Chains A and B, each alone.
Chain A
Amino acid sequence: MSASPPSAGARSGFRWGFRSGAVVVLALALWLELVLALAEAARGDGGLAARIGFFLALLPVAAWVIYGWRSCFGFFRSVKVGVVNLIFIGLASIAGVLFYQEDPNFPIAPQTEAGDLVEVTPQRYQHYQKFRQAHAYFTYKLLHGTSGWLFHRLPGVDGDCLLAARAEDNRRKLATLEQNLTEQGVRERFGEEFTVALEAQSETGLRVQAEKAEIAAFERAWDDCWWTLFHYADELDFLRVYKSDWFAALWGILLLGVVSNTFRGGWRRLLRPRKWGFLMTHTGVVVVVLGGFWSHLEVRGLLELNIGRSSDRFVRYSGEVTPFTPKNLFGQDVGPPFKVRLDAFRADYHDVLHVVYARRDEAGRLDLEFPDLQPPKFRVYAGQKLYFDYGPGDPSFLGESRDPDEVPHLRLEVLEYLPQALIRPVIEAAGPDEAGARPQLRLRIRNPEGGTDLDEILSGPEAGPLAHAGTGSRILLRQVDSVAAARELLARAVDPVYGTVVQRDAGGRGVLAREEVTPGSEFRLEAAGRTYRVEVLEALPLPRLRQDDDGRWVHVPAEVPVEYQEPLNPAVLLRITAPDGESEERWVFQSDFHAFGVRFTDLDLDFEWDAWRAPAARRLLLLLVPEEAGPALYGGSPGDPGSLRRLGPGDELPLAAGHALVVAEYRPRGRLRTEIEPVAGADFFHPAPGAIRVRITTPAGSREAVMSTALDGEWVEYPGPGGAPRLVRLVFAEDTNDMPLEWQSRLSFFPGEYGADGRIHYPSEPERTGHIRVNDYEYYRGYRFFQTNWKKEDPTYSGIGVVYDPGIETVLLGLYLVAVGTFIVFIVNPLVTKRHRGI
């Protein structure tokens, strides 16, 4: 393109220039708009007039093509026309960003007229509201600038600038913030970056508050103006520039222009190596535009599934339910629809480490040290080092070279981070004088097949009860003074008690009465000067409730006896009778969340399940008896003192149904350490919690800690600068307040087939399975499935975007051609020829 050869237009006696080109390009765009509008009218109820209008509109362009074909050909071959057309495309795009565009998936509802009144649909008004907000915001930003003088001269706008009015107040607030950050020691505690962030957010936030108020007032004051603008922009298609016919006409002209220009001067010229880049770039543009036109057959929507559910249809954004029918190149349905099943889904949230400073008041109660501050949270990675609490000190404890005036007194070093971890407590031997050392006991329940059903650690001297639903067993660890005391304790039988009903005071904190209960027991409670009679009708470890025809909550009997049920949500059913004879039946749950059937509101009741004394198939009492080398372990069954025996590692005690309790490990003086390890063979969908191993270094020493999103946090106490006592709570948790780190689905595809009965049948086994995540879709029979939505409140839900678009491959080919062509033109050719000669 280094020289401009005479155009075909020149041969026809007319040379296309910028002005003539601009007029005709504009005319052609408007002509297409008119022709398509008339065609639409002719198809609808426009009648004969519309049809005649349509044919009349076709005539001038048809005449130009037929009788002025040289001029027409010259028009498309003219590079100047091409440049003008590009400028129009640019201007149209500018219009597209200067007008708030409608969502192509949810077009604005047309305005309807009823008599003299113009009806505005709610959907149209909602779009208008967004339009008004966007344009008020833009106009404000454009006119307000730094001083706001121009904006505040506008009619209807307050002449006084709120930003200026609040400037002094905001400066004072920011000065206070800076003072507080320094005085309260936030700067030293959390470092410069944290305080810069706070200051930047606050400064911006204060400005934004005033801006928002000014914009909102501007929006309201100019409402009529926005509505008029919205109306005309809608009429002229400026709210849907990219879907408008005139915009498509500009691309059509570009397509014809690029095609005719690329091959001007003959195709042989294009085979010269220096022209390869030019040819590829321009061919690429043509292919992209062609693919774009083909994409008009696109169908787009959403498939919403829960795990295990399948569907052979999806919902288009327009609201239409559409089956997954394979299509031919022209978008016509061929064959029966296929079916998609959601096999697995998981949303994985960020694991973050919260660092919260606490302090104790005079009474020893814990409180936040910085109650007005959102404590920092950190996304963790192995090798990460976090520093806190800068101040004068001796840096030697860190093992790092530091300025003695700026020594961080707390260092957290993430040694290991596992997004999916197995958390395993390990018992270690403790030294004879080691603080915190205590008896540690690892128990296993061996099943008849030799496998392990339970693996738990009990830390002495007293722990439990440990409940195992599979065998209906309860295990309790207690400390006694001697073997004789152990035998005496074992001689006592266990009274069957299901739990305790607790009566709370009006505030819900103080305890007024406690009553041990079993089904059928009865007791009395005083409240508000009245005495209630309470009968225990049911006490269950895991009730399943349903409402009967009278609206009462009744228990659906479980298939397994009480002793074999896990006490996951224990509850008690009480019949409460008032002195006047009125009564209620109330379910009271251990979890503090709810109670059903409450009538006597002055009776505030809780329930505590007794895991040891509630019905059990077998109870075992493990007893620690002091000895010189440390406590010895004994065990036996309550009510049977003869069963007492000394236990050591490897010893077994029989349980129900062929199971046995095995003493796997016992250390009279031990400590617990938690180990983490990756979950072998776990894929993304494995629900194992994240865990970290952290080294905590303070002037008081260095230690390792394991934290998991499934465990409690860690307390750290250390001397800060000048020996000031510090108390920090480290919490490692999933950040469910933020968007997940990632969410993925596993899908199965089942092709449909018409059976002899004319119905669609699906095979039992999928033809294909696919795995989708954001940025990685699955393609099946012309449809693309990509991950879009998740719901925090429904962990089994997956929102899957569905697209049928036959033009994608063509467009991609064109894009690659443009990329390679540009590379050749701008990089390869100059390197080969040693200078840039142009295209």
Chain B
Amino acid sequence: METFSYRSLLYLTSYLAWSGAVLGLCTALGWFLAPLFGRRRAALAGAGEVEVAAAPTGPPAVLRFASWLLPVLCAASFAVNLGAQFARYVEVQHWPAQTMYEVIPLGTTSGFLSVLILYFVLGLHRRRGVARGFGDLFVGLLFLGAALTLNYVLGLDPTGRALPPALQSYWFSTHISAYMFGYFTLFIATLGAWLHFCFRFWRGILEPAEHPLGRGTLAMTALAALIVVPFGTQGLLMGPGVLALTGLIAAVSRRLPGGMSWFDGWEAGSDRFTFLIFAVGFPFLTAGLIQGALWAQEAWALYWGWDSKEVSALISWVFYVVYLHLRYVAGWRGEKGMWILLFGGLSIYITFQLFGHLPASQSSLHRYTDMDSVPAEGMMGGGR
């Protein structure tokens, strides 16, 4: 394998993402556990606050340094992943978004960029105490998601394919890149909402008297955890896995002097937290949709062909438009709105990855499935 090939750089990105995941989870654990060891009890004073909370005394220097490494790792992952995309551009001589082997890493590139932007937009760098731990957990899980995704990609067919004439357009790069940025940012919003519901679930279980769990929330949390299980390792880890991890953290944090009171601050700010992520991703989703229409108009003088992929993308967009309007007009803030964000992620996943299985997709111009794969029979018939 060549040193600066697409594949080798993807490997490097995946190593960086695994490092970020391990580091994020360790620092999160460190921030949660630090008060237990009584070294920086004062750090608890600012714990749980979503807005800037200056702790009376500073956290352990090594923890602070390790936390700062997270955005640095994210920047490095973004740079290497971007480098991989450029390497692929040279290898296949077109914007690398023709196969899933190329599109998904384009998405992880967008995801790293989005995390980097959100790190500062959401003010994760200003947090201290358990709130910082929560931020690190969030970023660590995003790294984990990216690492699992890249691992999956490295097992895909790496053959570079020729770009059919319909895709030879300047819209090809901007349309898909906008969608990827929108998709992966909205996936991040989904993860934010999911973390909220996971902790809310465990709080309801562990502190039922003070924070009773409604049947609806219980059912929806169970549904959200299980619905992703058929999607393989990623689904298993990001659904039941995250639920179990948050359960562990919640159980540990019960031993904190304030119990799970740190969650009060998160609960108060989670709506704004997830909305800000949405506000970063939604314009790109809109841009992707509009560029698709402009492109189709140039290619076939048909701005909207009701192709099932277009319709799937429209459904996701309508999903978020409904969220936006319900939030502002009908007052669906807090958990009500976050449920929409949570299932919005599912809608995007269907459009992005499962679309090829839908009945209407059988005649779609956007259909890329593996049903035409041909095994190398000659090489499987026994050794020579």
Contact = CB atoms under 8 A, between A and B. Distances in A.
Interface of A: 1-2, 4, 79-80, 82-83, 86-87, 89-90, 93-94, 96-101, 103-104, 130-131, 133-135, 137-138, 141-142, 145-146, 173-174, 176-177, 179-181, 183-184, 186, 191-193, 196-198, 200-206, 208-209, 211-212, 242, 292, 300, 350, 371-374, 379, 381, 383, 387, 735, 738-743, 773-777, 784, 786-788, 801, 803, 805, 808, 811-812, 815, 818-819, 822-823, 825-827, 830, 836, 838-839
B268 to A, nearest CB: 17
A772 to B, nearest CB: 11
Classify the interface of chain A: helix, strand, loop or mixed: helix
A774 B330 contact: no
A818 B290 CA distance: 8
B212 interface: no
Contact of A97 (B160, B321, B361, B376): B361
Nearest to A17: B330
Given A97-B359, A97-B361, A212-B371, A80 B168 contact: no
B105 to A, nearest CB: 15
A186 B159 CA distance: 16
Contacts of A812: 294, 297, 303
Say which size band chain B's interface belongs to: 35 or more
Given A145-B230, A206-B375, A819-B287, A740 B165 contact: yes
B246 interface: no
B34 to A, nearest CB: 31
Contact of B380 (A173, A212, A743, A777): A173
Classify the interface of chain B: helix, strand, loop or mixed: helix
A206 to B, nearest CB: 5
A786 B302 CA distance: 11
B315 A100 contact: no
B375 A137 contact: no
B275 A836 contact: yes
Nearest to A378: B160
A797 to B, nearest CB: 16
29 contacts: A93-B311, A97-B315, A99-B359, A101-B306, A138-B359, A146-B230, A173-B375, A180-B380, A200-B156, A201-B157, A208-B371, A208-B373, A292-B304, A371-B378, A381-B90, A381-B93, A383-B90, A774-B165, A786-B299, A803-B302, A805-B301, A805-B302, A811-B293, A815-B293, A822-B286, A826-B279, A827-B283, A836-B275, A839-B328
Interface in B364-378: 370-376, 378
B363 A387 contact: no
B362 interface: yes
The 6 closest A-B pairs by CB, nearest first: A372-B378, A205-B375, A774-B165, A784-B301, A202-B375, A803-B301
Contact of A176 (B283, B293, B383): B383
A231 to B, nearest CB: 16
Contacts of B331: 4
Contacts of B298: 775-777
Nearest to A211: B371
Contacts of B327: 838
B325 A86 contact: yes
A419 to B, nearest CB: 12
B279 to A, nearest CB: 5
A93 B287 contact: no
Nearest to A819: B290
A83 B330 contact: yes
Contact of B376 (A101, A372, A381): A372
Contact of B321 (A86, A130, A379): A86
A181 B379 contact: yes
Contacts of B148: none
Given A83-B322, A176-B383, A739 B164 contact: yes
A379 B94 CA distance: 11
A268 B372 CA distance: 59
A276 to B, nearest CB: 15
Contact of B362 (A1, A137, A379, A773): A137
Contacts of A86: 318, 321-322, 325
Interface string B296-316: 011111111010100110110
A625 B373 CA distance: 63
B15 to A, nearest CB: 17
A173 B160 CA distance: 25
A808 B299 CA distance: 13
A323 to B, nearest CB: 19
Given A1-B328, A101-B308, A381-B90, 9 more contacts: A1-B325, A87-B318, A174-B380, A183-B384, A193-B158, A196-B158, A200-B155, A202-B380, A822-B286
